[in-house]
Structure 1
Amino acid sequence: MIKDLLLAEAKQYEVCLVFEDNSKYIGMIEMSSDKKRVKCKHQDGIEWVPLDEIKHCSLSVPIKNRE
């Protein structure tokens, strides 16, 4: 999951974070300097989330046209 979060941060992909209580945040992320938390900018604001509270992470990768 850490690799996915680092990729999402580097490529500015949107993520869906699912937590132990099945709540979700969908938005953009930034890793903290200590690599134990992630800053998620989502529809309701900005939250700092400990990595150990995240149950699942999905990336939304944009599809580009090949023209």
Structure 2
Amino acid sequence: MDKRQLAWYLYWRAEVRQCRFPDTGLDYVTLYATELINGFGMSSVVDGYEQLMGLWLNYRDRMPPL
């Protein structure tokens, strides 16, 4: 990931954490899901589950591979 991609990812992830879901690439969604699955950026297992569900619910129509 280059600096521009990292800057976008960090911006996008901050937006998602505020329940705003801007258009992005599947790779960014997958990376964030992987972080959550591995326990990064969540306060509890339930919080991680809710964040994963939020990703899926908000991107499933835009990204059929999800």
Does the TM-score normalized on the shorter chain lie above 0.5? no
Higher relative contact order (CA 8 A, sep 6+): 1
TM-score (norm 1): 0.29
TM-score (norm 2): 0.30
The structure whose residues are more often strand, as a share, is 1
Larger radius of gyration: 1
The structure whose residues are more often helix, as a share, is 2
